[in-house]
Every structure is written in C-alpha cells, then in structure tokens.
Structure 1
Amino acid sequence: MTVRFDGQVALVTGAGAGLGRAHAMLLAERGAKVVVNDPGGTIDGRAGDAAAADKVVEEIRAAGGEAVANYASVADREGATSIVTTAIEAFGGIHIVVNNAGILRDKTFIKMELDDFETVMQVHFNGTVYVTKAAWPHLIEQGYGRVVFTTSGSGLVGSYGQSNYGAAKTAMLGLMNNLKNEKKKADIQINMVSPVAGTRMTQGIIDEKQFALSTPERVAPAVAWLASKECDFSGETIAAGAGYFARIRLMKSRGLTCDPDTMPTIEDLVARKDDIMDLEGATAYTTTLDAETRAKLGLS
C-alpha cells in the first residue's frame, strides 16, 4: 500500500526550515498541494525574511509538486486566518493542518522576563489555536480533516530553562483532548507528534551523533501518517526521532480508594502514599473515576 495525498490541500506552519520543511516536502512528494507558511527569521522570532518560505516552495515545484508561500505569523489572529485563506484561494480547500511553527527564548524561570514567557506561549500555543480555529469550520463543513499538533518532551517530561516552551507544548494536550470530542460525526482526526530532530533549534542541545541521526526527514513520516486518510484515531501522541516511533499516554496508578462512608484525611494519604504512587498495574488515563473505582465507591 502506498499512502498518497492526491487531491488534498495541506498547510504547514513554520515550514521554511527544519521539521516544517521536511513535513511540507514529504506531503508534496506524495501528491498534496501545500501552503508553506513561514515569516522567516531567527529562532527567537525577532526578525522576518520571506525568502525561507519561497525557497521551500521553489524546491517543491522543482520536484514536480504544487505549493504556494504564506509569510504570516501564526501569533497574529488575522495572520493565522490568512494561512487558511491562502490555501482556499490558491487550491480551493483545506484538508490537512500541520501546526509546527515555533520559537525559543530559553532562560531559567527566575531569570525569564514575562514578555518572553508570553511571546513563546503566543507563538506555540495560541498560534496553534488561531490556525486550527480558522481551519476548523471548513473541516467540519466538508466532514473531513486531519490536524496535527507539535508537542515536545520538554513539556510532556520537562527540560531545563524551558518553562515557557514546555508549558505551551503541554497546553496542546488539553486542546487536542477536547477538540477530539467536538468533531461530531465528521471524519476529522486530531493528534500530536512529539519530535526529536537535529535542527537549528536543537543545535548544541543534543549530542553530535544523535543530532546527525535525528534528521527532520526521519520525523516527517509520523506527521504524514497522522495527516493521512489511513490515520483512523484521535487524541494520540506519537513520539518520533532518529527513526524511532512510539505511542505516548498519560498513565494512572491503581491508586487508593477510601471508604465512601468515611471522610479521607491528610494522614490517610501520607500513610498510603505507596498505594497512590505505585505504577505497577497502571492503565492509560482516560478518566479519573473509572468503572472499577466507581464500583468501589458504590457509584455504579
């Protein structure tokens, strides 16, 4: 089976270099018409250069694909909407939304200016909200769509000096988990990729051998899979890096269920800490009061 995107229109934010470029190139290679969005500039988001998006468009066209550029910032509501408008005006629709745009302004929390915290949140999280919000009515109306968010281990696990970046990346988890329940009966799948890639944003952060192996092209197949008709699930996070792919889920321990006829105390939690914290027999977290817990509490 060969996965193709013929007749589909995809937009990829932050596609002027690195991961976004790899995603755009692969989607175009497999037949998608692609909107390459990137305002250009440095990794801290303080400058802009349209040449980044134009270069990727030229590469796609030179390889026989179809693409147009958009230079808007996802952090601006009107700019984010213009990316979707570009897709519709250039190619007549929108089917795939890959939210990849991002910047870095790393500092420890105590040294970080709130402006830098908010700017990173604005680009990563609100930018994802703005672009997805602009595309959402079109996907709902046509009853089909694929939306991909880009999260990070810095948010899901934690890193050093990236409280702004990590917070933005984890916020996407909550957005995804709620949107997956709002697609009604439409064939709209919304998922996340958690990539590890050797790009200008990770230069000097990961070791040289891993950097060399972790090319953006080794992540792009995961994004293309989540963007394809073959993706038949929502609310999942796929880790991807250096040719490794895995499913990530929040886990819940078996926990402590107190007597429903007795008010639990702080001391109960201290005394039974091991029961609460022990992950042996843990299951994927889908709800707090699962069927087994509800039965123990006499709720079902």
Structure 2
Amino acid sequence: MGGKAVGNKASVEDGAAVVKTAIDNFGRIDILVNNAGILRDKAFGNVTDKQWNDVISIHLRGTYTCTKAAYPYMVEQKYGRIVNTTSTSGIYGNFGQANYAAAKLGILGFARALALESKKYNILVNTIAPNAGTQLTASVLPADILEAFKPAYVAPLVIALCSDKVPAPGTGALYEVGSGYQARTRWQRSGGYGFPLDVKPLTPEAIVREWEKIIDFDDGRADYPESGEDGLRAVKANFGNTSKTAKL
C-alpha cells in the first residue's frame, strides 16, 4: 500500500529509544499507540515482587516513558494522537491478575489526566480496552476465541482515534472493543445520601441506616461524572445541608 515501517528492538521501558527511531526515520511523530504488554498471572498470595514489578514496568511505566519521549514533539508541532491500551481486567478486575489489573487501570488514570493537559496543544488522548487474539493472549485463549478476537476487529477504532477527525468526545474517552463490538464505557455514580453537616459526629451506624439510599442507582438521581469538577458537584451541593434544610 506504499507505506513504510521501521522496526525497533528496544523495550518500551526505554521510550526515548523507541521514539528516536521514529524521529530518525521520519522526522516527526504524530501518533503513539501504547500497546506493549506481558502477563505474569498468579493468585495474589503467590505473586512475587518480580512478577508484580515486571508487569507494572512494561504496561504502566512503558506507557509513561514512550509518551514522555513523544510528547515534546507533539507539543511543538501542535498535533498528536495518543491511544493507550487498558483492559477489562483493569476496569472490572480479574482473578489472578492483580498486577495486570493495577497496571491497566493506572494507564486509564494516566490517559484521562493527560487528555486534560494536552487538549490545548491539539493532542488527543484516548484509551481502548480490547479483546484481541495476539501473542500476549495466544497461550491463554482457545483457538475458536482467538479467531473471533482477531486484531482486525480492533484496528479500525484505533485508526479512527488517530485520525484528523477523531469522533466525539474527541479526547479522554474509554472504549471497549473486540469481535466487531464497539462501545464507550463511562463511570456511573449513585445519587447517594447527604448527611446534614450540623449533626455531629457522623457515625458508622448512621451510614449503615441509610445504606440502601447510598447505593441506590435506580432512584432517578444517578449520574455519570466525566471530570473532577463533576465528581465534586454532589459534594459541594451538600455544603448547605443542615438538619433544618433536610437536603439529600
């Protein structure tokens, strides 16, 4: 198709070496897809420090070092597209993958923070949680699942997120993708319960008494906070809540 690819054998722990290959061969870097990964699955009680550190280093630190190396070039040219790879193990948890889940959810937090900082430079940052049959998963997935999880079902979304016209919301989003299925994932928070601030002390017993209201997602007050400001809105709304106002 007329494209050109150049290999690099450096570990993603050395992001500067990875990005240098792009600069040396192409003179610039417009797109970064942080996708390298390893597995060291063990039940948490059996995880060694090395198994923990190796997974954190490749997934989370590797994402950081490659992004750190590419970011100045993108800032200077006022253009960049970064796609990070998390996992449903990070979003929902998975047995035997405490190390992997911690690294993957760390990547999501990193991406969301970076998206806020980099938008002014026209650098858009998004995260995918793919189901894909790759070298990483070939040893743990059966053949029929590997066939359904072809990377070709994931790549089109990555291309869209790396394009000149990234679909809305543009940056800071999380997408689950695989086997032809494409979806955006977001946080949901229950409506909660606001205790009057003039009734002290707030006790564990009081919390337990209102527990069903605290965890109720079905009372019509649940929301979907998209930012730290959204997250604080309900907290700030409770500032004026006293035993006289009886505000929930």
TM-score when normalising by structure 1? 0.73
- For residue 9 of structure 2, what is the aligned residue in structure 1? 71
Shift of 1:235: 1.1
Cα separation, 2, equivalents of 1:275 and 1:289 = 19
Determine the C-alpha separation between the residues in 1 that align with 2:205 and 2:28: 59
For residues 41-62 of structure 1, the C-alpha deviation after alignment (integer angstroms, 9 at most, x for no partner) is: xxxxxxxxxxxxxxxxxxxxxx
> Deviation at 1:256?
1.0
- Aligned-pair distance for 1:289? 2.2
Deviation at 1:184, TM superposition (A): 5.5
Output one character per residue of 1:59-87: Cα deviation in whole Å (capped at 9) or x when no partner.
xxxx4311111110012xxx310111111
Unaligned runs of 5+ residues in structure 2 are 242-248
Q: Is the 8 A contact 1:80 1:127 kept in 2?
A: yes
- Cα deviations across residues 190-240 of structure 1 (Å, max 9, x unaligned)? 010100012233236445443321101101111111111111511111100
Structure 1 segment 126-205 matched on structure 2, within 5 A: 126-183=61-118, 185-203=120-138, 205=140
Instruction: Identify, as 1 or 2, the structure richer in strand.
Output: 1
- Indicate which of 32, 35, 38 corresponds to 1:103: 38
Matched, 1:294 2:236: yes
Q: Deviations over 1:105-134 (max 9, x none)?
A: 111111111111001100000000000000
Spell out the pairing of 1:256-275 with structure 2 (5 A cutoff). Answer: 256-263=193-200, 264-275=202-213
SS across alignment from 1:240: strand
* Match of residue 224, structure 2, among 284, 292, 297: 284
In 2, distance between residues paired with 1:110 and 1:214? 31
Q: Comparing 205-214 with 237-246, which one deviates more in the overlay?
A: 205-214
Deviation at 1:257, TM superposition (A): 0.9
**C-alpha separation in 1, matches of 2:2 and 2:183:** 32
Indicate if the aligned counterparts of 1:210 and 1:242 stay in contact, CA closer than 8 A.
Answer: no
Query: Separation in 1 of the partners of 2:130 and 2:171?
Result: 18
Distance 1:205 1:272, change over 3 A: farther
1:260-296 per-position Cα deviation (integer Å, ceiling 9, x unaligned): 2223221121111111212224221233321x55234
Give the direction of change, closer, same or farther, for the CA distance of 1:88–1:212 in structure 2 (3 Å limit).
Answer: same
Identity of aligned residues (%): 41
2:193 equivalent to 1:253: no
Cα distance in 2 for partners of 1:117, 1:204 equals: 20
**Pairwise CA RMSD of aligned residues?**
1.7
Tell me how far apart the structure 1 counterparts of residues 198 and 172 of structure 2 sit (CA, whole Å).
36
SS in 2 for 1:251: coil
CA distance in 1, matches of 2:68, 2:232: 31
> How far is the alpha carbon of 1:159 from its aligned partner?
0.9
Q: Is the CA contact (8 Å cut-off) linking 1:143 and 1:188 kept in structure 2?
A: yes
Matched residue SS, 2:5: strand
Instruction: For residue 207 of structure 2, give the secondary structure of its aligned residue in structure 1.
Output: helix
TM-score by structure 2 length? 0.88
Q: Where in structure 1 do 4 or more consecutive aligned residues deviate above 6 Å?
A: none
* Preserved CA contact (<8 Å) 2:36 2:58: yes
Matched residue count:
233
